[in-house]
Structure 1
């Protein structure tokens, strides 16, 4: 499924935090790595000096060559490219140029921690990328996905919709490559009545029913994955989806979250302000986000 991993870099230590996880994935998947950096044409023009573009290009090529050498010494196939233009648009062009299957990048770059994903390069790439995007946090221990320990799972939140289930093939491919089980997670949102007596008694009955339905749904999905040779666990928790996913992601077991950018609420609800973005903001784990195909989801709904 993944043959080429595209890693955008801007020369900052933040952006380079994507390298350990990209390296581990490339080794496990036997994929090539494309390291790319973008030079802003507007910034070059404002520099004024006629040789500014030539100098900037040489520095960028030397920077990528040094990183590529390090990765090559680890047995990876590495290519590099320096492109011109605004960062997000240039990255998206490089996805096509390299026929990349996955973009691996940090949520922050040269602008630092003061600028979060809102309005950032990562947001624009995520909104328009034709392939999944794996986002790495800029703080904490650098993320790396080693094939061991096998007990570390890949967390896959599902809400029962065909849209959310489009993350499953990606999670399955990674589970096989990393020798990891998949942990299927479903959150049941409590009714506001749940916190009001005596209506809370009725709400509790509804909640119990919904939990039972959720467990049955996850069991069906898990059995299908197990028939495909992937070890699977399930868990149903009560709470708001972003809270539940971020909380479960902070537990010791999961090493990676794989989820769709849209679920039951559909494509009409943009990523900004959605459950997916809340998880990106709050979870300590790397998060692989898959933009679901609406037509495929509709066909699945009709087939069901």
Structure 2
């Protein structure tokens, strides 16, 4: 993840999609980034009217650049990512349909799904249960041992260093839950002792291209037994994590990405999704994969 200098916030005019405004403005201010608001519409409106329709508070408007593009919303978002050299997309998992009360059992709207599956840059996705809590205080990163997990960890520490946040890395493997957490390089129980070398190697590899200051953001590494999604949700709640980050392979079809699907249903904090490049493969695993 390169330095975040340009943030894209797609809005469709629904209250659900506008939930990301506060987070996007806050991040843009701290990172010194330009915040672009995108609205896909066949009938562009004058600036003030457009911002009114998009539910952007008046106090936030001086910090926003508005773009109104014709065409399908997902195509417009992806085109804007390239044209505006966007480094981070922030969007709600659902928009107009959720605000209208349609099919609330659906965890992800079609536009958001298309964007997270195809975006070449990380996407900060706000799940349906998202509750705004600013400023952020800490981040939780899922480690799976795969190359895409390395990419996600590198992105997390880079962002955390800019925001002055601490990062906890958690890896889950199959089996009964086992308590215990320890700082990086120190393992207190049998499970940690058994996998200490590989787990530490996993984290160090993910940080290979990071600066010393970015590496200092790692507060602790935790190894847990149990269902991956359940472990991540439990750890996020226990630690009060402001963001839950994970790498994934970019496919949400039947039988794919079960962890992400559950997080979309139950998480209350933003999900920072880093999509792996095509051809990325597993390189080191301690236990169960984060996303298979």
Query: Shared fold by TM > 0.5?
Result: yes
Cα separation, partners in 2 of 1:175 and 1:16, compared to 1, 3 Å: same
| 1:233 aligns to 2:233 (yes or no) | no
| 1:217 aligns to 2:206 (yes or no) | no
Structure showing greater relative contact order (alpha-carbon pairs closer than 8 Å, 6 or more residues apart): 2
User: Counterpart of 1:62?
Assistant: 49
| 1:133 aligns to 2:123 (yes or no) | yes
Q: Which is further off, 240-249 or 28-37?
A: 240-249
Q: Distance in 1 between matches of 2:173 and 2:31?
A: 35
User: Counterpart of 1:194?
Assistant: none
Deviations 1:59-87 (A, max 9, x none): 676223783853255xx3x2111111121
User: Counterpart of 1:199?
Assistant: none
**Within-5 A mapping of 1:25-36:** 25-36=27-38
| 1:283 aligns to 2:267 (yes or no) | yes
Q: Distance in 2 between matches of 1:137 and 1:68?
A: 21
Distance apart, 1:218 and its partner CA: 3.5
Cα separation, partners in 2 of 1:25 and 1:214, compared to 1, 3 Å: farther
**Secondary structure, aligned partner of 1:5:** strand
TM-score w.r.t. the length of structure 1 is 0.74
User: Counterpart of 1:109?
Assistant: 95
Q: Distance in 2 between matches of 1:5 and 1:88?
A: 16
**Within-5 A mapping of 1:39-58:** 39=41, 41=42, 56-58=43-45
Partner of residue 180 from structure 1, selected from 165, 168, 171? 165
User: Counterpart of 2:243?
Assistant: 256
- Stretches of structure 2 lacking an aligned partner (at least 5 in a row): 177-188, 285-292
Matched pairs, number:
255
Q: Distance in 1 between matches of 2:46 and 2:211?
A: 50
Q: Specify the structure having the higher radius of gyration (Cα).
A: 1
User: Counterpart of 1:167?
Assistant: 152
TM-score w.r.t. the length of structure 2 is 0.77
**Secondary structure, aligned partner of 2:124:** strand
Q: Is the 8 A contact 1:188 1:237 kept in 2?
A: yes
Q: Is the 8 A contact 2:18 2:56 kept in 1?
A: no
Q: Distance in 2 between matches of 1:57 and 1:187?
A: 48
Q: Is the 8 A contact 1:222 1:232 kept in 2?
A: no
**Secondary structure, aligned partner of 1:6:** strand
**Secondary structure, aligned partner of 2:165:** coil
User: Counterpart of 1:122?
Assistant: 112
Q: Distance in 2 between matches of 1:30 and 1:161?
A: 32
Distance apart, 1:123 and its partner CA: 0.7
Deviations 1:75-104 (A, max 9, x none): x3x211111112111111111121111110
User: Counterpart of 2:184?
Assistant: none
Q: Distance in 1 between matches of 2:237 and 2:204?
A: 22
User: Counterpart of 2:252?
Assistant: 271
